[in-house]
Structure 1
Amino acid sequence: MDGILILFFSISIISIIAEKIRRNAFRNLSIFRKIDKKSMYPGEEINAKLYFENFSKIFIPFVHVEEQVPLELERIGQSYSERIGDVKYYSNVFNIGAVERLKFNYKFSSNKRGIYYLKNIKVSIGDVFGLSEDIREFEDYIEIIVFPKVKSLSELQFNNNSLLGDIIVKRWIFQDPLYVKGIREYTTDHRMKDIHWNSSIRMGKLMVREYDFTSDRQVTFLFNTQTTTPFWNVYEGNNIESGIELMASIGKELIYGGIATGIWTNGQIVSYFGKHGNELPPSTSSVERFLEYCARIDVNTKFSFSDYIYNKRDKFDINTVYLLITSYIDNESAAIINILRSKGILIKLIDISKQGDINIPGVEKLHLSGEGR
């Protein structure tokens, strides 16, 4: 009988101590993450480290960690334990010794452009008998940026034009503000109106004017996410994604070419702290800055395109080439564009609709083909 009482008393004492350890464990536990870079191209990897530090002199026998990860991010080589909506949960169970630091290494990857947030880490600490546990949720905020897929300009194809490669930039975007650099032999990529007839007669073969950029021109993309009226009703996600990849590809080449390049958009901008507005001012400072903004554009529309450009009408600059990328245009927007053109504003259209049936009278147009998407 005495042995049973001693056993019962011992178990009670141990349980009380275990309960106290469990309840006080979080006071001496530090949990945080680190990543080796904040941005990546689709298919690349980001190295992540999850740290647990026990500053107590007491062993913690049971720790269950559940990490919340956006659906579009993948932890390479690991399977998630649960999926709820657009969030996956990755679990890990371990123990941690007194005054010990544990580090877990893993990698993230994604094939989808966007801004993703690692936020919540749910931690459960149990007693030595597994009879009870204390649960806390930590918010360890980390932003991961996945750039759009960037193609070489030679991969871009347009149904109504044979322009390829850097000719898109030199012969279409900048054909009006270019200056004549010299004379060269004609190829099938050249326009007939560029033929220099006097030199052709003298040389006995077709010669054309060779152009280069003027130094005072810049480019601003007008990226329209509206795909129907009313603007909040429907979106065509695939067309918008193709348009963003097109904008990223051309913009990258423009910036590398020393052309200040920016973006105006009526789309919603993903920004946890609200630091990013609907305009990226033209700059040559950083391609990554431009690609990051492309990653932040959401497929949902914030303003109707007509309201957006009407409110911006006094901000248009005659020394800027405006490249309108859209899969939809309404009559009101087209009318505003024509008013801007009458004031000397240079606007060109890239139609990303599948039908290629967007037309604005007087505005030069390219249509992105299915092969170029």
Structure 2
Amino acid sequence: MRNSNYSDKSSAPVSGLLITTQWLEVLFLAFLVVLISGIVGSNGGVIAFGVMGITAGILSYLFSRVALNQVFYQKKFSGNRFFVDEIVAMEVMISNKKPIPVPWIRIQDELPEIFEVENTDITNFIYNSYTKTQVLRHFTSMRWYERIKWDYKLKCTRRGVFKIGPSKIESTEPFGMFGSVINYDTFDEIIVYPKIFSLDELELPPLKPFGESSGGMELIQDFSGPRGLREYIPGDKLSTINWKASAKLQKLHVNLYDPSSAHTIVVAVAVDSLENYWAPGDVDIVENIMSMAASISYHALSNNYTVGLLSNDMQTQESKAFIVSPGRGEYQLTKVLESLANINTLAYAPMSEHLIEISRSFPMGSTITICISYVNDNLLNSIQYLMDRGHLVVVLYLGKGDMPDIGSDVKIYDFREKMNNNEFAIKP
């Protein structure tokens, strides 16, 4: 799923001089005045100084114009998709492909702060507190036809989609009078997926939230067609009553359904973690929610379930539907993980409202798995609404404090302590 080949991405450079045209004119006129003064005063020393100044200026200007010609800068990465705590191998390379040396050159590259430098020598990295980025700097000189390479190992410390760049190369000629610059204005994109945990190692209770695909209690059933009838037993859902057969037999009967191997799991990611849904919540809690959503999706897809993903973050405000439509297969997992990487931490509405808004798009009889850190009465009402429509609802609580009381009809699980132990993390 992750591309292990090196990606090579460079941009068309935008070049220019470090000194403005106006300053060039001022310097030229200054030395010209010195030369004329020497000629008028018949002063050989002044004349020589003026000639040397003009000559040095012309040579320096011409050198600065070609200093970065045929100089190529590249960054290579060991892929563009990683999981949290994985290592990105980054190779920085600059080549001088002309028969003229470059006496001084400086390279600058911006990296997001989430990348932790693993190399022992990190003196090339300077943190910019204003932009919250790391500036990677190299100072060197280059002989003709020389190539210089630096290797770095960067640890991904947080989920998200991150851009590396822009890049800038600066150089001066031997006299240090003029300089030139090349700007690379494109970016390299790195996608960092949330951690995935093994649900078996997290000791799920025997009553699994996904039900049983064969044998045992039929927690998940295929509602596309009944397999038969049986008499009504107190506690059966009203939605399973076959009213036509009950009227004919003069006794309440309910439909029987087969367990489904292609049951739909709807993973609901709730980013609202406070009573005021619009307020930013605890970042660590939100990241745990993302990891749990990724773990559930991986587990379900590995067992051939159909999985869909939804969230109440700001990016879903317009569509108000699935972020990832229900589907199966390895490509579905990639879509789910990339969507989880893109989810932000600000909610456009409470999850309780969002579930009601899009409930009509849920496949019949699907299991709604809610990853959440805040439970209130409105959410409980929404859960009851979904259950009345024939859905099985499972709550995975990842908030602070004691477990909330949501009633005996809804399964609720606590993974907080287990998720803090990284030894349970796995990668597809």
Q: TM-score range by the shorter chain?
A: 0.7 to 0.9
Alignment of 1:249-268 (within 5 A): 249-268=295-314
For residue 104 of structure 1, give the secondary structure of its aligned residue in structure 2: strand
Measured against aligned partners, the alpha-carbon deviations of 1:209-259 in whole angstroms (never above 9, x if no partner) come to xxx962231211011101124322130222222222222222212211111
Write the distance in 2 (CA, Å) between the matches of 1:268 and 1:137.
34
For residue 298 of structure 1, give the secondary structure of its aligned residue in structure 2: coil
Write the distance in 2 (CA, Å) between the matches of 1:114 and 1:215.
33
Write the distance in 2 (CA, Å) between the matches of 1:30 and 1:299.
39
Alignment pair present for 1:303 and 2:345: no
Cα 1:33–1:249 change in 2 (3 A) is same
**Structure 1, unaligned runs of 5 or more:** 180-211, 271-276
For residue 94 of structure 2, give the secondary structure of its aligned residue in structure 1: strand
Which residue in 2 is equivalent to 1:16? Answer: 58
Write the distance in 2 (CA, Å) between the matches of 1:169 and 1:53.
56
Which residue in 2 is equivalent to 1:356? Answer: 403
Which residue in 2 is equivalent to 1:82? Answer: 127
Cα 1:336–1:250 change in 2 (3 A) is closer
Aligned residues of 2:365 and 2:390 also touching (Cα < 8 A): no
Aligned residues of 1:318 and 1:346 also touching (Cα < 8 A): no
Which residue in 2 is equivalent to 1:154? Answer: 200
Which residue in 1 is equivalent to 2:294? Answer: 248
Alignment of 1:271-310 (within 5 A): 279-286=323-330, 287-310=333-356
Aligned residues of 1:76 and 1:108 also touching (Cα < 8 A): yes
> Which amino acid counterpart does residue 176 of structure 1 have in structure 2?
L
Alignment pair present for 1:235 and 2:288: no
Alignment of 1:1-373 (within 5 A): 6=48, 9-10=51-52, 12-26=54-68, 28-54=70-96, 56-77=98-119, 78-79=121-122, 80-85=125-130, 86-98=132-144, 100-156=146-202, 163=205, 167=208, 169-170=210-211, 175-177=218-220, 214-268=260-314, 279-286=323-330, 287-354=333-400, 355-357=402-404, 359=406, 362-373=409-420
Cα 1:106–1:12 change in 2 (3 A) is farther
> Which amino acid counterpart does residue 259 of structure 1 have in structure 2?
Y
Write the distance in 1 (CA, Å) between the matches of 2:366 and 2:284.
29
Cα 1:93–1:360 change in 2 (3 A) is farther
Cα 1:237–1:343 change in 2 (3 A) is same
Aligned residues of 1:267 and 1:298 also touching (Cα < 8 A): yes
How far residue 38 of structure 1 moved from its aligned partner, in angstroms, is: 0.8
How far residue 260 of structure 1 moved from its aligned partner, in angstroms, is: 2.0
Write the distance in 2 (CA, Å) between the matches of 1:96 and 1:328.
59
Write the distance in 2 (CA, Å) between the matches of 1:367 and 1:323.
13
For residue 253 of structure 1, give the secondary structure of its aligned residue in structure 2: helix
How far residue 55 of structure 1 moved from its aligned partner, in angstroms, is: 5.1
Cα 1:175–1:372 change in 2 (3 A) is farther
State the superposition RMSD in angstroms. 3.3
> Which amino acid counterpart does residue 365 of structure 1 have in structure 2?
I
- TM-score normalised to the size of structure 2? 0.67
Measured against aligned partners, the alpha-carbon deviations of 1:173-227 in whole angstroms (never above 9, x if no partner) come to x951169xxxxxxxxxxxxxxxxxxxxxxxxxxxxxxxx9622312110111011
How far residue 28 of structure 1 moved from its aligned partner, in angstroms, is: 4.3
Cα 1:96–1:168 change in 2 (3 A) is same
**Structure 2, unaligned runs of 5 or more:** 1-42, 223-257, 421-428
Cα 1:118–1:293 change in 2 (3 A) is same
Aligned residues of 2:117 and 2:154 also touching (Cα < 8 A): yes
Write the distance in 2 (CA, Å) between the matches of 1:347 and 1:168.
8
How many residue pairs match? The answer is 330
Write the distance in 2 (CA, Å) between the matches of 1:278 and 1:56.
54
Aligned residues of 2:197 and 2:419 also touching (Cα < 8 A): no
Write the distance in 2 (CA, Å) between the matches of 1:18 and 1:43.
48
For residue 338 of structure 2, give the secondary structure of its aligned residue in structure 1: helix
Which residue in 2 is equivalent to 1:204? Answer: none
- TM-score normalised to the size of structure 1? 0.76
Larger radius of gyration: 2
Cα 1:257–1:171 change in 2 (3 A) is closer
Cα 1:310–1:17 change in 2 (3 A) is farther
Measured against aligned partners, the alpha-carbon deviations of 1:278-308 in whole angstroms (never above 9, x if no partner) come to 6112333224443333222222224332442
Write 1 or 2 for the structure with the bigger share of strand: 1
